[in-house]
């Protein structure tokens, strides 16, 4: 008899009645988190789940802290959208994964003008000092630089890169570190999960050069956006994490969603999605330097996918009516099994932060 993955996992672990973050911590992760966007803040049923720290131990503002929201006009900073989400973390005790300082997207047009190296350096310094300074002490981590590389391994021709070359990355990390020495500083990107493509190799080289220039990069965030049935395997993801962990102290899955490429879907596709989610969370559990998993919102109601990929979607752990999907049950059961098996011992202590220059691995 062929049992669906959720049934197998439930049979092994018993019904998953506990919530994801509680189970994740029992299994030795630091958190299981979610992104939250401002339009969802008025939805009481949504917020009841989002604010439940047993369900989600960490929250990431999906848009509120981005450049277009924090400094739409040069020198005029505004924090309303970011604060609305940061304040939830203050109230609930959830961790705040701050996102994101330097990205080519959602950038106001004034940043895209042709600037000299010195001008861009001053623009980056002012932005990072101001935004990181505003949130100082509140951010468990910052996604300092987001998506600097192309899939072919070349540097993305962003306004920052055009003005400063790859030095913009070093400068951003150094400035963030001095503005909030307690935040863990991440490089965050997509398509760096499946070992080992051109982008992963180039990202590794870029990080080595940034670290050797004396800038602190504490973590690599693998976003984890993928498609049902085409996601990287646990083995591929573990291999990738092992490579990045040669350079940095920690890695995390920072924006996980696994979308169906055609809708509507049936039970078989939902079971495949459950298996794909289990591979991601399993890869993290089996990698001691992987500190947590964040989903890029937990309900299809607020997923970015249909806006960006019309006809695709249902990528999240909860459906648009806030019902838990098979993927939720399977992830919960996996975490419960890992906790019972003591896979990683008890909850991990915070890893030491890397500040020195790394030794070049052979
Ligand atoms: O703010 C305007 C609003 O004024 C306007 O009325 C509305 C009409 O469409 O658009 C609003 O802007 C939207 C913005 O989200 C805020 O809701 C943009 O159109 C929309 O494109 C934007 O999408 C965001 C996307 O980043 C932009 O690339 C998604 O919500 C957000 O989830 C997504 O997140 C990114 C991560 O930051 C980095 N990694 C990839 C991930 C998915 O793209």
* Contact predicate 187/221, CB 8 Å: yes
Q: Is residue 355 part of a domain?
A: no
Structure tokens at 218: 């504490």
* Contact predicate 255/223, CB 8 Å: yes
User: Is the peptide bond prior to 264 cis by the omega test (within 30 degrees of 0)?
Assistant: yes
* 223 within ligand 1 shell (Cβ under 6 A): yes
Q: Is residue 348 part of a domain?
A: no
Rounded Cα distance between 9 and 190, Å, is 29
Taking only the tens place, the pLDDT of each residue in 171-215 is 999 999 999 999 999 999 999 999 999 999 999 999 999 999 999
Taking only the tens place, the pLDDT of each residue in 95-122 is 999 999 999 999 999 999 989 999 999 9
Low-confidence winner among 4-13, 48-57, 177-186 (lowest mean pLDDT): 4-13
Q: Is residue 206 part of a domain?
A: yes
Active site residue 267: no
| Top mutation candidate among 41, 59, 61, 63 for ligand 1, by most atoms within 8 Å of CB | 63
Is the pLDDT reported for residue 169 higher than 50?
yes
* 143 within ligand 1 shell (Cβ under 6 A): no
Q: Is residue 353 part of a domain?
A: no
Q: For position 346, what pLDDT does the model report?
A: 44
Question: Which member of 55, 121, 255, 279 is catalytic?
Answer: 255
Q: Is residue 184 part of a domain?
A: yes
Start-to-end Cα distance in the chain: 48
Q: For position 345, what pLDDT does the model report?
A: 55
Alpha-carbon distance values, 91 to 25, 32, 51, 125, 131 (Å): 20, 18, 9, 30, 21
Q: Quote the ligand 1 centre to 36 CA distance (angstroms).
A: 12
In the structure, what pLDDT confidence band is assigned to residue 13 with cuts at 50, 70 and 90? very low
Is the pLDDT reported for residue 11 higher than 70?
no
Q: Is residue 141 part of a domain?
A: yes
Is the pLDDT reported for residue 359 higher than 50?
no
CATH number at residue 153: 3.20.20.80
Model pTM?
Answer: 0.92
Active site residue 362: no
Q: For position 360, what pLDDT does the model report?
A: 38
Q: Is residue 349 part of a domain?
A: no
Q: What is the number of domains present in the chain?
A: 1
Q: For position 326, what pLDDT does the model report?
A: 97
Compute the chain's Rg from CA coordinates: 20
Is the pLDDT reported for residue 222 higher than 50?
yes
Q: Quote the ligand 1 centre to 63 CA distance (angstroms).
A: 7
In the structure, what pLDDT confidence band is assigned to residue 264 with cuts at 50, 70 and 90? very high
pLDDT higher for 2 or 309? 309
Q: Is residue 268 part of a domain?
A: yes
* Closest residue to atom 23 of ligand 1, CA basis: 304
Structural domain for 258, as ranges: 5-341
Is the pLDDT reported for residue 14 higher than 80?
no
Taking only the tens place, the pLDDT of each residue in 280-321 is 999 999 999 999 999 999 999 999 999 999 999 999 999 999
Residue 299 β-bridge partners: 318
* Contact predicate 247/286, CB 8 Å: no
């Amino acid at each position: 008899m062929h049992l669906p993955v959720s049934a197998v996992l439930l049979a092994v672990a018993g019904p998953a009645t506990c919530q994801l973050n509680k189970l994740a911590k029992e299994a030795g992760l630091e958190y299981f988190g979610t992104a939250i966007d401002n339009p969802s803040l008025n939805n009481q049923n949504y917020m009841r789940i989002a604010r439940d720290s047993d369900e989600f131990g960490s929250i990431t503002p999906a848009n509120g802290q981005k450049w277009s929201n924090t400094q739409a006009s040069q020198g005029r900073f505004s924090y309303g959208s970011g604060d609305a989400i940061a304040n939830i973390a203050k109230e609930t005790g959830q961790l705040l994964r701050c996102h994101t300082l330097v990205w080519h997207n959602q950038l106001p047009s004034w940043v895209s003008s042709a600037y000299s190296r010195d001008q861009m350096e001053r623009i980056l310094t002012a932005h990072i000092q101001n935004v990181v300074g505003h949130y100082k002490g509140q951010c468990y981590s910052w996604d300092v630089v987001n998506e600097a590389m192309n899939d072919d391994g070349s540097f993305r021709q962003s306004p920052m890169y055009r003005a400063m070359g790859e030095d913009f990355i070093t400068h951003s990390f150094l400035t963030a570190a001095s503005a909030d020495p307690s935040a863990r500083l991440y490089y965050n990107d997509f398509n760096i999960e499946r070992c080992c493509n051109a982008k992963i190799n180039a990202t590794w080289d870029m990080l080595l050069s940034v670290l050797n220039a004396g800038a602190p990069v504490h973590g690599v965030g693998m976003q984890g956006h993928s498609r049902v049935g085409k996601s990287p395997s646990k083995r591929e993801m573990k291999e990738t994490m092992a490579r990045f962990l040669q350079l940095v102290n920690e890695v995390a899955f920072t924006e996980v969603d696994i979308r169906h490429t055609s809708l509507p879907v049936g039970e078989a596709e939902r079971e495949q999605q459950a298996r794909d989610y289990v591979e991601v969370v399993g890869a993290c559990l089996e990698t001691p330097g992987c500190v947590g998993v964040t989903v890029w919102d937990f309900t299809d109601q607020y997923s970015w996918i249909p806006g960006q990929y019309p006809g695709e979607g249902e990528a999240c752990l909860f459906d648009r009516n806030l019902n838990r999907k098979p993927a939720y049950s399977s992830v919960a059961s996996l975490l419960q099994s890992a906790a019972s098996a003591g896979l990683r011992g008890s909850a991990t202590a915070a890893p030491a932060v890397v500040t020195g220059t790394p030794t070049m691995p052979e």
